[in-house]
Amino acid sequence: MAKGRKINPKKFEIGQLKIILLILPLVIFMGMPIIFILNHAFKPMEELFAFPPTFFVKNPTLENFSKLIKFSDSSGIPLSRYLFNSLIVTVITVGLALLLTTMSAFALAKIKFKGRNMLTQINQIAIMFVSTAVLIPRYLVICNLGLIDNLLAHILPLVAMPVALFLVKQFVEQIPDSLLEAAYMDGATDLDIYLKVILPMIRPAVATASILVFQQVWTNMETSSYFFSDDSMKTLTFYMNTLVNANNTVAGQGMAAAASLIMFLPNLILFIILQNKVMNTMASSGIK
Amino acid sequence: METQAKAAPAAEAAAVVPKKRKRNKISRRENNWRGWLFIGPYAVIFSVFILIPVILAVILSFTNFNAIQFPQFVGFLNYITILTNDAEFMKYVLPNTVIYAVIVGIGGYVLSFILAWALCNLTKPVRTVFALILYSPSMTTGVAMTVLWKVIFSGDQTGLLNSWLMELGVITEPVIWLTDTRFLLPIVIIIGLWSSMGIGFLSMIAGILNTDATLYEAASIDGISNRFQEMIYITIPQMKPQMLFAAVMAIVGAFQNGMITSMLVGNPSPGYASQLMVNHIEDYGFLRYEMGYAAAISVVLLLIVQLFSKGANVLLTDKDPYGKKGAEEEDG
């Protein structure tokens, strides 16, 4: 690396130790709740209510998880039903969102058509969209489409995600036009280009978009709370939340901790797997 | 994006030329239906679930609507009520929202820049681990973590915070954190800050890592000697697009996060102590069924977010052509 450049060092130097020491307290503070939930979920009853309360688990057990399963069985709708709903909804939403987002990104970045600038602008403004603010009109829309208690009410409201489209579009713009031109010259159609040139080249952006959509769907509670009256159609997040809120019973806390962990882990694992690709995409995330 | 080409300096224009040539070529074909074919499905869903709800919110905000009878047109009454007649809004909700947005939005933004910059001065393995830890709270948007905060801020001796503070001798008897109106807003703010290292933070890391290496060399020859000067004079000017993206994300996050309050202490929160605008919307829309009024608050909220984002735009959009080039053509 060049002299004077200190960003992104290749090897460890003493100077870096200062920085590590400076931010370490903050990193610990930020990481602590996560560590705590990891420990809390595996605590046996006596540790959950120990006095003084403990931070780390001493005798880890799966008790909380088995209780969670039993409890839901006794309440009429088994946990597996909620899990099934969540999985189906998440898989379909992420898949559909990725398909539509990449198609749109291709159009906005590489096809010149009437209305393109307008659509780009609208999407850019929609990044600032606060979805909770329009919960009521959304509810009315869902009502009028007859989607109350329909699985689609979990899926469709979350498919269009302006931030995801923005990030993927920025990434597609980096693909050199000469490459596409050459393919068009060889007689490729738009569909060929989309499938064989664009998609393989924007994998990092697709990974990023999938994480964003996944996080939004997996932890979403609004759809379950407002668009569904049939409990058996609601998702895991909703069930977890009723657990957290509805019981101050002794057993409740352990179950809720286990439930939280179940909600959190998939996010973490997905991000760890894809983090390299995410950073790759973020490089082109700037708004110009 | 291409509107930039007009005002862009020579250097940038040169980079844009090949793009232009291709556009002319492609535009010779039948383009309109091709573009719409690809963007159509997204556009439909976007319209139905984002655009129409926003338009509906604007329309409803001029009506009196209780979700059963047909909405009645009332003109600006709802907006006038917000400004003059909603004591809770003026006394609690608006100040709370402003305080929350300033600390979590601006504070979280500055914090994520400082952290991003610090991480970029470290080697890759260390950086990756730290970034993962800092980013992970933002994955769990509220709900999943409610139980965690309930345990930490539990009002009796088994609460983690109470137990720690008592051990340290700061307090002598347990504080009932989640009903004490003095602490509700600070608690919600801490939770907000905790989860504020989101995608904007990642964007800033990437922005800093992508700054042009040669500029640092030149700067060191020109006498820039410490990391701080480097950050102010080289790093920030080069990564303004990422700074803007992160700013928008921070603003949206600051106004959108509020559901955690409802989860933690109910809606309305005790004494309205931690009531934010999103909670107020939920309160009026789904608890009192005054949907017209709730819609008016929604519109105000959306406008405030737009206004702040415009502000960020003015502050961070680069007027000098030198900086503009920076991150933009980097990977191209």
The string of DSSP codes covering B261-287 is: HHHHH-SSPGGGTT--HHHHHHIIIII
Tell me how crowded residue A41 is: count the other CB atoms within 10 A of its CB: 26
The pLDDT, as a whole number, for residue A277 is 82
* pLDDT confidence band for B142 (50 / 70 / 90): low
pLDDT at B90 over 70: yes
> In this complex, which of B149, B213, B291 lies closest to A136 when CB atoms are compared?
B291
Measured in degrees and rounded to the nearest 5, phi and psi for residue B213 equal: -60, -40
What is the rounded distance in angstroms from the CA atom of residue A225 to the CA atom of residue A212? 21
pLDDT at B165 over 50: yes
pLDDT higher at B258 or B79? B79
Query: What ipTM does the predicted assembly reach?
Result: 0.87
pLDDT higher at B294 or B33? B294
The pLDDT, as a whole number, for residue B6 is 39
The pLDDT, as a whole number, for residue B136 is 86
The pLDDT, as a whole number, for residue B143 is 60
**What's the gap between Cα B92 and its chain centre?**
22
Give me the residues paired with residue B73 across strands: B63
C-alpha torsion sign, points A212, A218, A219, A223: positive
What is the rounded distance in angstroms from the CA atom of residue B180 to the CA atom of residue B191? 16
* pLDDT confidence band for B45 (50 / 70 / 90): very high
The pLDDT, as a whole number, for residue B25 is 47
pLDDT at B21 over 50: no
Structure tokens at A137: 């009109």
- Please report, rounded to a whole number, the percentage of residues in chain B having pLDDT higher than 90: 15
B169: left (phi over 0), alpha (psi -120 to 50) or beta: left
**Buried b / exposed e along B117-155 (16+ C-beta atoms within 10 A):** bbbbbbeeebbbebbebbbbbbbbbbbbbbbbbbbbbbb
CB contact under 8 A, A104 and B43: yes
Tell me if B41 is assigned to some domain: no
What is the rounded distance in angstroms from the CA atom of residue B314 to the CA atom of residue B308? 10
Give SS3 for B73. strand
Please state the pTM of the whole predicted model: 0.83
How many domains in chain B?
Answer: 1
At position B319, the amino acid (one-letter code) is K
Contacts of B133 in chain A (CB under 8 A): 27, 30-31, 34
CB contact under 8 A, A137 and B57: yes
CB contact under 8 A, A137 and B54: yes
**CATH number of the domain residue B258 falls in:** 1.10.3720.10
The pLDDT, as a whole number, for residue A152 is 92
Tell me if B33 is assigned to some domain: no
What is the rounded distance in angstroms from the CA atom of residue A116 to the CA atom of residue A130? 24
Closest chain B residue to A273 measured between Cα atoms? B132
Tell me if B55 is assigned to some domain: no
> In this complex, which of B26, B207, B285 lies closest to A112 when CB atoms are compared?
B26
Compute the count of residue pairs across chains A and B with CB atoms less than 8 Å apart. 359
The pLDDT, as a whole number, for residue B169 is 82
At position A44, the amino acid (one-letter code) is P
* pLDDT confidence band for B235 (50 / 70 / 90): confident
Q: Best of A113, A139, A185, A236 to disrupt the B interface by mutation (most B CBs within 10 Å)?
A: A113
In this structure, of A65-69, B3-7, B110-114, B116-120, the range with the lowest mean pLDDT score is B3-7
What is the rounded distance in angstroms from the CA atom of residue A170 to the CA atom of residue A108? 10
> In this complex, which of B18, B45, B157 lies closest to A159 when CB atoms are compared?
B45
Assigned CATH for A67-282: 1.10.3720.10
Give every CB contact of residue A147 below 8 A, 6+ residues apart in sequence: A153, A156, A227
Tell me if B69 is assigned to some domain: no
The torsion defined by the Cα of A158, A162, A168 and A173, in degrees rounded to 10, comes to 150
The pLDDT, as a whole number, for residue B12 is 41
pLDDT at B8 over 80: no
In this structure, of A223-232, A269-278, B15-24, B144-153, the range with the lowest mean pLDDT score is B15-24
**Contact status of B264 with chain A (Cβ, < 8 Å):** no
CB contact under 8 A, B133 and A12: no
Structure tokens at A229: 């009256």
What is the rounded distance in angstroms from the CA atom of residue A105 to the CA atom of residue B306? 23
B186-195 per-position pLDDT tens digit: 998 988 888 8
A259-282 per-position pLDDT tens digit: 888 888 888 898 888 888 888 777
What is the rounded distance in angstroms from the CA atom of residue B35 to the CA atom of residue B27? 11
Tell me how crowded residue B87 is: count the other CB atoms within 10 A of its CB: 10
Tell me if B71 is assigned to some domain: no
**Mean pLDDT along residues B13-22:** 43
Give every CB contact of residue B222 below 8 A, 6+ residues apart in sequence: none
pLDDT at B46 over 80: yes
What is the rounded distance in angstroms from the CA atom of residue B209 to the CA atom of residue A54? 40
The pLDDT, as a whole number, for residue A92 is 96
Residues 62-91 of B with CB under 8 A from A: none
Distance from CA of B182 to the nearest CA of A (A): 23
Q: Which residues of chain A have pLDDT under 50?
A: 1-4
What is the rounded distance in angstroms from the CA atom of residue B214 to the CA atom of residue B238? 12
The pLDDT, as a whole number, for residue B322 is 43
| Contact indicator for B259, B213 with CB cutoff of 8 Å | no
| Contact indicator for B107, A227 with CB cutoff of 8 Å | no
Closest listed residue to residue B260, CA positions, set B171, B155, B143? B143
**Mean pLDDT along residues B196-215:** 84
**Mean pLDDT along residues B272-295:** 87
Closest listed residue to residue A130, CA positions, set B251, B67, B221, B14? B251
DSSP B2: T
Domain boundaries, position B319:
79-330
Closest listed residue to residue A254, CA positions, set A41, A35, A52, A50? A41
A224-245 per-position pLDDT tens digit: 888 998 888 888 888 877 776 6
